[in-house]
Structure 1
Amino acid sequence: MIDIERLDHVLITIPTNTRKEAIRFYTQTLALEEILGNHPNGAIWVRFGDIELHIREEDIHQNNSERHAAVVVKDLSAAKAFLQKENIEISFSSVIEGRARCFFRDPWGNRFELIEYDK
């Protein structure tokens, strides 16, 4: 079992070469607060209520989209052990300071991120 605490963020994708328009839409049109920083893969992060919305350019013809929902778990090691026991492949991505994380896909290809923040 994976002990989930809360939804952390959702990553959506936009077509390549539309970054400036996306920043304008989310920060000016929708008036969302941008979370500045050097985010993985050039993502744009904004506050979306009490969660984060991550926006990243992606080739729309890509088979394995990077879109995903991310949840905070109480014990990432236990969650990974559970996934391995269930023969669910775990993948990793770039390092983000202050958190450990991993990814998995469901049988239909939907991607999920599990996060445990440093204490």
Structure 2
Amino acid sequence: MLTGVDHVQLAAPPGSEDLLRTYYADALGMTEIPKPPALAARGGCWFQAGPVQLHLGVEPDFRPARKAHPGLRVTGIEAYAARLAAHGAPVTWDGDLPGHRRFFSRDPVGNRLEFLEPTG
């Protein structure tokens, strides 16, 4: 039986770790967590905020997905969108999901992310 999502893996091009750290740690406010030594040699970086983990793995022929994305729940979505915009991240609001406020953004390598907060 499934009990939850352990993490979401996103891909990134080789050598992009510093860009990813700026976005995921500084803009999103996540904490970088150490990768196990056997996996650290592969490059990439992992981040966590509460129970949410995002793993960024290096993919030599990286191409960001156009549609696929993690959906991340937030509180204070207006302030969170302003925080991302202040860090230069794109914020595109979308009102098509009933019962939620949401926007999309892209990390510095083009990965799409959805941020949502239930209404009412």
TM-score, scaled relative to structure 1: 0.46
Report the structure, 1 or 2, having the larger strand content. 1
